[in-house]
Structure 1
């Protein structure tokens, strides 16, 4: 059987263009221009680095994906025919924006970008067209496009703070405009030393900007003497040494601002107790304090002393739960020129049977936008500020923590169409993609790029063509049936805190403790060592109906998700000879199935354990012990069945900030943990009942 070592998936991420995509059985139509060997890619004589990079990229695409040889030149006289001519044109009508482009296809091809980034997007568009066509055929005529969003920022799915050139190129192909770092200081990220300027220089040749989110204690209040000098040094040093940074994101929990709003508590959060008794107030990092605008104004002033065009993004992620009136008032008082980032679907309520729930973090169960995002987008439009969404449209929500993307295309299509409407109605102009988990290219990322390009296109038609290109023309109907089932399955995934920060975050390596809270050895190189993710969160308070009342409904909901995932797998496994992409899709489906089983078992174990803690009599204790043993044995079998899945595809079980949570090592640790419970704990419970 095919086996991969940990991190082998990175080899795929470094393959910019898919090999041998051309289908020789497809013939051109009458209105199509045929590219063959010997075409010239003609750059302007003064082409900049972005244009040179993308011209060579397109040459590689033709060779790798379409089996054609082309030549690149700056000397137009060399090419008298078979020309793909690149150039700048700042008069593209309504598409005259950065990254806008016009493509004219007759007997030759002309790609005109509003800027060099537009030239790049134009050539990437030609690649996208040929990818859908599965042949080097281009429809004649004139077409003009531009991205719907000015900004699409992303974190790395390759590894925390890791951006090799080939991966940067893949992000550029997907329309990503900016990459991010979570930093402590100049050239210091949460993983250690990183040369910010060097990363900028490499990213810039792909037209990608670099932004940072600062994790540091903002201990000086803006009203204190010397406050401006304090923030001039904090931010001035960063932007003086790294003048290429294009954006700065301010997030409540990262800033830990020392607010004086009497409604908020102290910062850091551990100060919000007296003699071990909580005060009941939340730290300013999690509250829409009335003096946040003063801090933003001071930071803005400090940054603009070094660079006037930095995009300062103020993120309201931490207080989407708060009353709309307080959140909107904060936005109204922000300084001119900042951008506001709000999460697309977080905090949105939903119902399960007769219980009420609220989304913990990011989910495709709800296409969105939610009421929290909607209120802030409207407020930004009224205030004249840029509105961004933490959108996660590249396919990675927190429904499953350690799979590369959520294969629910029909849920994604709803989300993309709703974003189109948000752009038109409220002027939303930016998106944060794949928060925390990073971008992993897939047919979902391709679908999003088509969706977020003006003018609109029929996404159902695009999806079917993408399925043909990824999984085989002969398998389109089969895969599409499965994708309908899986899209429905995601409407039954439960986006609660105890799922997204528990079994669904970790995968089948999630432990089942009856009394302990131990966790496996953590990767010493991981950005985050979240022991908390391995412990039960069921006893904590969460928004919505009491956890114990809601859990049985959640189990029934997840049983529906599990059944739909299984039905999709049964459909996919009718394909006799799946290609490599389809084999990985099926394998990932089984990993989703196994993770859902773990999630159901975790809830069942929680209920059994709670019945054991408050039994009516000895017989109930014994019955609970029997139930816990049944769950543990079933989960042990489920865990064992996961091992070949993660060995088949090394991206499964991996999350960039935590590294591997569910690889073979993690699963074998889980088996030993379950054996301990079965051999030592359960017999002890029975002895106690009989004493």
Structure 2
């Protein structure tokens, strides 16, 4: 199957992102069941005579869906919904028949009528998108006759752009809305409109996003140089943050995280230095400003409220505790108790919690424990850090959000669009829903700057985040049947094996900022060498990758190696399932991209294994030079083969190898750079080292 798929050029995946309604999804051989209503070409879509532009555009979206995906031309008409004829799909925003919660709707399907009664305009749009979901799943314009009442569990559901960092074409906004998300995140690097992709008209973006039922949340990267009690502080913060909302009063919220808004705190637990400032005292081991729950953050937040909410009284001010989840409970909770009651607390769901494997599980002589360094699916969550802050926020009545990564990606592997591990995602989603019930978790940040792309995983997660949704097992089987047809069982088995494999992922900092960040393009560096890959498209690139792999504890690294070998076995078994797929599939290109993604992840796991083996061997170079050099040559040759095998998988789907903030770091060009570097190490550097050893012996 994969051999038939030609290579994509870099960035070609954006064509798919721009195509919200996939053409010709209809299977014309199917027949409607006795309990189903068939939408035919003589149906019409009816909106109120006084429908707003928003509602009319939402109805036009459904009309476009029928034309492109179901190959039906439906009339769209403004009329009194009560007088609309039979064979109508009727939009009723602000309907008394709908639930009261924002974005909710009631869907009624009868033999000759489909009615969407919604609590508001955004709800009626979501009702139309759900009709698309149902027909996509059925591969036909057939709808089960029933009455469904649906409400979103979480709002906001925030995401960064998966198209490019801080770039949101209308088509991508539309796709985000179809996925059930209702907020986008925009980095601000300087002033009021300079983002990581350059100038953005923020008010225009806020209004364009609102046209799809999406709010704009700012994520400022604007370090503060004044304490809120300093002379002139109010004027300073007015210019820093107030001007941002003054220029864009339609923004929905603003997210603050310690490392990005570090201010000169006076808390004696910190060293008094921001991360960008020069070291004052190398012996001072206290945390940097922004990396500790400083006691004067409440004063800082009061200043932020003052200068921003005068332009938008309803602005959602989100205070994210990401940078000090490691700190003692007493310090973190003491800060939460003093936070202003009208701001939102956000905590990361799984970080800082150790993942543990008993010795027998991985074949080690002692247990393995690795704290989760950064966002990962290896633990479902919640971790102790999140749990303690959620409990305190709930007790105090603070609004609570989570960094959940349920857009489908994490820092497990930095250059893929999503992780095809649905059963692992279900564990995360179930834990988040339980947190909603127990601590009133209401909002989610679903991606960091790796963004979001549509996938079968995002279909499953969207459905889980609405009340009245279908059962997960029914849903995943329906997706597998739709996309894989006769290969449905193989696909389900692969997804299960891949999900199980990620339980053995190693979320150590060395891995997440090393081979797992860029995949098979990660270099194997011989002692004394350096390796800096070409980064022609990005000004950020290698700053989030450590090309000097650290081995602080060889014993722990060896146990991590055992865990990764277990991960490799399960990933390989899943890939074998995909390799057994029949040639004829309902959606061969989509199935092929999923299979290629699994193969690329397998190659990445092998690169991580070879990286650990390589650097463990390097530790013995002085003591056992001959044996070590032979081992390095063997490891290097295995990695040459592995990295070379990854290239076609990266080319089948041009989203593989890409990360929105860094652009391409794991594509053909970067993998070939790594191959050239490694070939030189094996054919020149190591032979020269051998020669120097021999020369020294002869002397």
Q: TM-score, normalised by structure 1?
A: 0.95
Asked whether 1:685 is paired with 2:679, we answer no
Output the CA distance in 2 between the equivalents of 1:454 and 1:23: 29
> How far did residue 139 of structure 1 move?
1.9
What whole-Å deviation, never above 9, does each CA across 1:406-425 have from its counterpart, x for those lacking one? 11111111111111111111
Output the CA distance in 2 between the equivalents of 1:50 and 1:537: 52
Change (3 A) 1:292 1:440: same
Output the CA distance in 2 between the equivalents of 1:80 and 1:680: 80
Output the CA distance in 1 between the equivalents of 2:13 and 2:162: 11
Structure 2 counterpart of 1:593, from 595, 598, 602: 602
> How far did residue 529 of structure 1 move?
2.6
> How far did residue 28 of structure 1 move?
2.0
Contact 1:43 1:55 in 2 (8 A): yes
| Cα RMSD after superposing both structures | 1.7
For structure 2, the residue ranges without an aligned partner over 5 or more in a row are 360-366
Output the CA distance in 2 between the equivalents of 1:367 and 1:527: 34
Structure 1 counterpart of 2:88, from 65, 73, 83: 83
Count of residue correspondences: 676
Change (3 A) 1:240 1:498: same
Asked whether 1:396 is paired with 2:409, we answer yes
For structure 1, the residue ranges without an aligned partner over 5 or more in a row are 540-545
Structure 1 counterpart of 2:384, from 360, 366, 371: 371
Output the CA distance in 2 between the equivalents of 1:169 and 1:651: 19
Equivalent residue, structure 1, for 2:522:
510
Change (3 A) 1:229 1:532: closer
Equivalent residue, structure 1, for 2:26:
22
Asked whether 1:47 is paired with 2:51, we answer yes
What whole-Å deviation, never above 9, does each CA across 1:573-612 have from its counterpart, x for those lacking one? 1112141111111111111111111000110111011111
Equivalent residue, structure 2, for 1:216:
222
Output the CA distance in 1 between the equivalents of 2:97 and 2:517: 46
Contact 1:272 1:281 in 2 (8 A): no
Structure 1 counterpart of 2:356, from 332, 351, 357: 351
Change (3 A) 1:296 1:422: same
> How far did residue 46 of structure 1 move?
2.0
Equivalent residue, structure 1, for 2:73:
69
Equivalent residue, structure 2, for 1:123:
128
Equivalent residue, structure 2, for 1:138:
143
**SS of equivalent residue, structure 1 residue 453:** coil
Output the CA distance in 1 between the equivalents of 2:544 and 2:137: 44
What whole-Å deviation, never above 9, does each CA across 1:336-368 have from its counterpart, x for those lacking one? 211111111111112243232100111111111
> How far did residue 24 of structure 1 move?
2.8
Output the CA distance in 2 between the equivalents of 1:518 and 1:318: 30
> How far did residue 532 of structure 1 move?
5.2
> How far did residue 90 of structure 1 move?
5.1
Equivalent residue, structure 2, for 1:543:
none
Output the CA distance in 2 between the equivalents of 1:646 and 1:70: 40
Contact 1:523 1:658 in 2 (8 A): no
Contact 1:272 1:280 in 2 (8 A): no
What whole-Å deviation, never above 9, does each CA across 1:644-678 have from its counterpart, x for those lacking one? 22222211100101100011111121111112211
Contact 2:486 2:582 in 1 (8 A): no
Equivalent residue, structure 2, for 1:477:
489
**SS of equivalent residue, structure 2 residue 227:** coil
Change (3 A) 1:149 1:531: closer
Equivalent residue, structure 2, for 1:561:
567
Output the CA distance in 1 between the equivalents of 2:544 and 2:379: 26
Output the CA distance in 2 between the equivalents of 1:246 and 1:650: 33
| Greater Cα shift, 262-271 or 395-404 | 262-271
Asked whether 1:261 is paired with 2:274, we answer no
**SS of equivalent residue, structure 2 residue 255:** strand
Asked whether 1:420 is paired with 2:420, we answer no
> How far did residue 459 of structure 1 move?
0.7
> How far did residue 56 of structure 1 move?
0.7
